[in-house]
Amino acid sequence: MTTTTLPEKAQVERARPRLILVTLLTCQLMLILDITVMNVALPHIRTDLEFSATSLSWVMNSYTLVFGGLLLLGGRAGDLFGRRAMFIAGVLLFTLASLAGGLAPSAGWLLAARALQGIGGAMAGPNTLALLTTTFTEPKARIRVLALFSGMSSAGFAIGLIVGGLLTEWFGWRSVLFINVPFGLVIAVLALRYLPDLPRRAARLDLPGAVTATAGVAALVYGFISAASHGWAAAGTDIWLAVGAALLAGFVAIELRAPQPLLPLHLFADRNRAAAYLNVFLGPMAGMSMFFFLTQYLQDVLGMSSLATGFAFLPTAVLMFAMIRLIPRLLARFGPKPVTATGSVAMVTGLVLLTRLSESSGYFPLLFVAMVVMGCGIGLAFSPLNVIIMATVSPDEAGAAGGALQTMQQTGGALGLAILVTIFGTAARDTGGAPTHALVGGMTAAFAAAAVIAALTFLVALTFRSTRASR
């Protein structure tokens, strides 16, 4: 009697890398989408659950605060206790929290669910990147999958607005949380079946480092959130930022002496990796402003629906995805300096164009051109950074490096939004006049400040060594 066991097994083994890649990239897209998909639904959430104007921001902030504060711990815990187990546990917690959030009968219930989503995301996120790095070890394949991961992360911000608009318009705001449930369950099943269960290291978790890092990042993120809500002059803002800075200084001192540090500081010794980490911090400071302010401009000034607002970002999303295919070739041919520098220039150009917006500006040509340029710029400037940071990290430190990368990204985004929202509010008050006129005046001032931050990413990009990625 003939059997097909061996051919079928061979087919499964050939398909395994692709299934691993799909599993990990889908998880990353789900986590990133959750950051922006809620933006479009916020007005509906406020009405349904009776949020106040000031408390509504916590629908976003409760997730950001917990997610950003626990990323370093989640990454190092995966290094020590098993990345596959930590990844699956994080995905399942994120999925259950999404279900609970979609069923929320009250504002407090929803905020608690969002915080649990943040915990799950911090467990899964850095281990997603670590699993990619340790599974795809051949240099060319690693560069390709890291570029895909980075492109998925960047494009996810724009896609989240499109998906959020579609779901909110057709099925209501609860659907933006329920959509995570089937995806999360599929990811967990695929992870159980296909993800490698690598040997764990016999080591101890750096608990003093974990406490100071988690508390320090959480205090900084909370301070940035307070600045955005109450202004930089508020007493609470200064206190939280000072506490966060002190805790992080203590964290560095602990890491310098720890035999098995939560964050190996020698990761920053390589010039290219250190510059990439800095731009991972600066990039979201500038780039997030486009999504945050243009969402309001399209709806409050141009009068677009939530569905039309989502699709308005389609050029940016398409161009970001196009960069996914180009980045491995461009890095191999030119190296990181010209690729990231060109992207930074394009990003500055797009933000400068957005400073020309007025109450009478239509979508074409100004907004459309700015979104196209921004899509190219964000893709070229920031998609290579994951590759630069993770391509040469040792397997034992992949989780720590990935946690540091995503922590820099989250804190950069929170700080940037706090700075730009404060500039927006000040400029709007100084502009005066009709509400729409003040709104546009504040936005253009924020875009000008974002262009200055983007210019800093260009200066950092010039410090990259003129080396090419491994072929």
pLDDT tens-digit profile of 118-137?
999 999 999 998 999 888 88
Q: What is the mean pLDDT of the chain?
A: 87
pLDDT given for residue 4 in this prediction: 45
Whether residue 468 lies inside any domain: the answer is: no
Residues 257 and 323 in one domain: no
pLDDT given for residue 468 in this prediction: 58
Whether residue 466 lies inside any domain: the answer is: no
Residue 5 has pLDDT above 60, yes or no: no
CA–CA distance, 416 with 277 (Å, rounded to integer):
16
Continuous segment of H or E residues that includes residue 212: helix 207-230
Whether residue 426 lies inside any domain: the answer is: yes
Residues 174 and 219 in one domain: no
- Which tokens hold the place of 285? 């400071």
Residues 153 and 237 in one domain: no
Residues 268 and 224 in one domain: no
Residues 248 and 177 in one domain: no
Residues 196 and 253 in one domain: no
Residues 87 and 177 in one domain: yes
Range in 16-25, 184-193, 203-212, 374-383 with the lowest mean pLDDT: 203-212
CA–CA distance, 328 with 200 (Å, rounded to integer):
31
Residue % of the chain over a pLDDT of 70: 94
Whether residue 467 lies inside any domain: the answer is: no
Residues 380 and 239 in one domain: no
Residues 240 and 279 in one domain: no
CA–CA distance, 253 with 248 (Å, rounded to integer):
9
Q: How confident is the model at residue 2 (pLDDT cuts 50, 70, 90)?
A: very low
- Per-residue pLDDT, averaged over 273-293, amounts to 90
What does 72-124 look like in DSSP terms, one character per residue? HHHHHHHHHH-HHHHHHHHHHHHHHHHHHHHT--SHHHHHHHHHHHHHHHHHH
Give the CATH number for residue 340: 1.20.1250.20
Whether residue 7 lies inside any domain: the answer is: no
**Greatest C-alpha distance within the chain:** 86
Number of domains the chain contains: 2
Continuous segment of H or E residues that includes residue 235: helix 235-257
Residue 399 has pLDDT above 80, yes or no: yes
CA of 64: how far to CAs of 58, 159, 407, in Å? Answer: 9, 19, 10
Whether residue 154 lies inside any domain: the answer is: yes
Q: How confident is the model at residue 141 (pLDDT cuts 50, 70, 90)?
A: confident
Residues 110 and 214 in one domain: no
CA 240-280-342 angle, 5° bins: 140
Whether residue 224 lies inside any domain: the answer is: yes
Whether residue 5 lies inside any domain: the answer is: no
Alpha helix (H) residue ranges in 355-397: 368-390
- End of a domain among 261, 276, 293? 261
The larger pLDDT score, comparing residue 334 to residue 198, is at: 334
- End of a domain among 237, 261, 285? 261
pLDDT given for residue 320 in this prediction: 83
Residues 210 and 191 in one domain: no
pLDDT given for residue 6 in this prediction: 45
- End of a domain among 243, 261, 279? 261
Range in 8-17, 167-176, 180-189 with the lowest mean pLDDT: 8-17
Domain residues for 278? Answer: 12-205+262-461
Residues 236 and 103 in one domain: no
Q: How confident is the model at residue 275 (pLDDT cuts 50, 70, 90)?
A: very high
**By CB neighbour count within 10 A (0-12 exposed, 13-18 middle, 19+ buried), where does 99 fall?**
middle
